[in-house]
Structure 1
Amino acid sequence: MKSFPVHTIESAPEHSRASLETLQSAFGVIPNIAGAMATSPVLIESLVGLFGKVHGGSFAEDQIQIVLLTDAAANSSRWAVAFHSALALQEGITIADVDAIRAGRLPNDQKLAALSLLARAMIEKRGHLTQQDMDQFLDAGFNKAHLLEVIAIVAASTITNYTATITNPPIEEAFKQHMWSRS
Structure 2
Amino acid sequence: MSSYTVHTIESAPVQSRPVLEQLQQSFGLVPNIAGTMAASPVLINGFIGLFQRVHTSSLTEPQIQTVLLTDAVTNASEWPVAFHTALALKEGVHPADVDAMRHGDLPKDAGLAALSTLARTLIEKRGRLADSDHRSFIDAGFSAEQVLEVIAVVAASTITNYTSSVTRPPLEAMFEEFVWHAPAR
TM exceeding 0.5: yes
Partner of 2:9: 9
| SS of corresponding position for 1:11 | coil
Contact 2:71 2:119 in 1 (8 A): yes
TM-score of the superposed pair, with normalisation by structure 1: 0.98
Distance 1:25 1:51 in 2: 15
Equivalent position of 1:52 in the other structure: 52
* Cross-structure match for 1:130: 130
Residue identity (%): 60
User: Does the residue aligned with 1:88 lie in a helix, a strand or coil?
Assistant: helix
Considering only aligned residues, what root-mean-square deviation do their CA atoms show, in Å?
Answer: 0.8
Per the alignment, residue 84 of structure 1 pairs with: 84
Distance 1:79 1:71 in 2: 12
Shift of 1:47: 0.8
State the alpha-carbon separation in 2 of the partners of residues 155 and 22 from structure 1. Answer: 20
Unaligned runs of 5+ in 2: none
Within 5 A, what are the aligned runs for 1:48-127? 48-127=48-127
Counterpart position of 1:142: 142
CA distances 1:12-40 after superposition (whole Å, capped 9, x unpaired): 00110011111111111100000000000
**Cα drift, residue 182 of structure 1:** 2.5
Aligned counterpart, 2:161: 161
SS at match of 1:29: coil
Q: Give the partner amino acid of 2:133.
A: D
C-alpha contact 1:22 1:48 (8 A) present in aligned 2: no
TM-score (norm 2): 0.97
Aligned residues: 183
Does the aligned pair in 2 maintain the 1:7–1:39 contact within 8 Å? Answer: yes
3-state SS of 1:6 partner: coil
